[in-house]
């Protein structure tokens, strides 16, 4: 896949940037795996989730990745029922009725599908969703905005206080279309992932 090829090329270039005549050889690096930054131990999985996913297994577990993948599958398939399962139900209604001024969540999914298809083709699929960054509740300004929206929509519940944890995932979409003959990449997208009431919930 092109995005992984780019990562590999960058790593090889860095390895070969050692002093002249070293032949790309250098002293062994005994850095502990736990000390490596996000992206150092990426896992590509094309079969376990609703859409193919690549993520760093040290920072995200399969349940978290599965939630993000379901969100992508809901958009890919314009599936309103799956979208309601994946996000907060009241947020889906808010997006449809207030943000997009549409009649239903199904209309919302048709609109989101069309927005992604504008970058590729109507028959697009997520060839790969690369989670190439992660930020915590303490470091992401985007998450602060998401919490503000949730609290405004449900002021009596004060969800920002009852959500157990939250992450801001920076993702890159590798889209296939035209019967798999063409590809395009859309980067710097954000998925907000929440741990709430014993399950994972996503927002975009």
Residue-by-residue pLDDT tens, the chain, 204 positions: 444 333 333 333 333 444 433 445 555 554 677 678 888 889 999 999 999 999 999 999 999 999 999 999 999 999 999 999 999 999 999 999 999 999 999 999 999 999 999 888 888 999 999 999 999 999 998 999 999 999 999 988 888 899 999 999 999 999 999 888 889 999 899 999 999 999 999 999
- Residue 53 near residue 131, CB atoms below 8 Å: yes
DSSP string, 76-103: HTT-HHHHHHHS-HHHHHHIIIIIS--S
- Residue 108 near residue 81, CB atoms below 8 Å: no
CA dihedral sign of residues 112, 117, 123, 129? negative
Quote the CA–CA distance of 114 and 111 in Å, as a whole number.
5
**Structure confidence at residue 3 (pLDDT):** 42
Query: 129: which residues sit within 8 A by CB, 6+ positions away?
Result: 51, 52, 53, 54, 68, 69, 72, 171, 172, 173, 174
**Structure confidence at residue 29 (pLDDT):** 55
Closest CA to 143 of 99, 202, 100, 73: 202
Query: 24: which residues sit within 8 A by CB, 6+ positions away?
Result: 15, 16, 18
Closest CA to 165 of 145, 135, 189: 135
Hey, where are the domains in the chain?
A: 39-203
Q: Helix (H, G, I), strand (E, B), or coil: what is residue 181?
A: coil
pTM for the full predicted model: 0.80
**Structure confidence at residue 28 (pLDDT):** 53
Quote the CA–CA distance of 121 and 113 in Å, as a whole number.
10
**Structure confidence at residue 180 (pLDDT):** 83
- Please list, residue by residue across 42-66, b when 16 or more beta carbons sit within 10 angstroms of its beta carbon and e when fewer do: beeeeeebbbbbbbbebbbeeebbb
Residue with tokens 């193919």: 52
């Amino acid at each position: 896949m092109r995005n992984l090829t780019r990562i590999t090329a960058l790593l090889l270039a860095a390895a070969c940037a050692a002093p002249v005549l070293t032949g790309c050889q250098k002293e062994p690096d005994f850095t502990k795996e736990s000390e490596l930054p996000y992206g150092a131990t990426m896992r590509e999985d094309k079969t376990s989730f609703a859409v193919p996913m690549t993520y760093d297994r040290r920072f995200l577990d399969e349940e978290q990745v599965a939630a993000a993948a379901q969100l992508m599958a809901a958009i890919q398939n314009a599936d309103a029922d799956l979208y309601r399962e994946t996000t907060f139900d009241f947020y889906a209604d808010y997006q449809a009725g207030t943000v997009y001024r549409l009649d239903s969540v199904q209309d919302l999914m048709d609109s989101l599908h069309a927005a992604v298809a504008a970058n590729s083709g109507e028959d697009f699929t997520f060839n790969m969703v690369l989670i190439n960054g992660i930020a915590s509740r303490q470091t992401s300004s985007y998450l602060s905005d998401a919490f503000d929206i949730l609290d405004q929509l449900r002021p009596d519940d004060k969800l920002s206080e009852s959500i157990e944890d939250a992450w801001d995932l920076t993702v890159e979409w590798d889209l296939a279309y035209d019967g798999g003959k063409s590809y395009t990449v859309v980067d710097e997208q954000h998925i907000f992932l929440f741990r709430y009431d014993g399950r994972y919930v996503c927002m975009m």
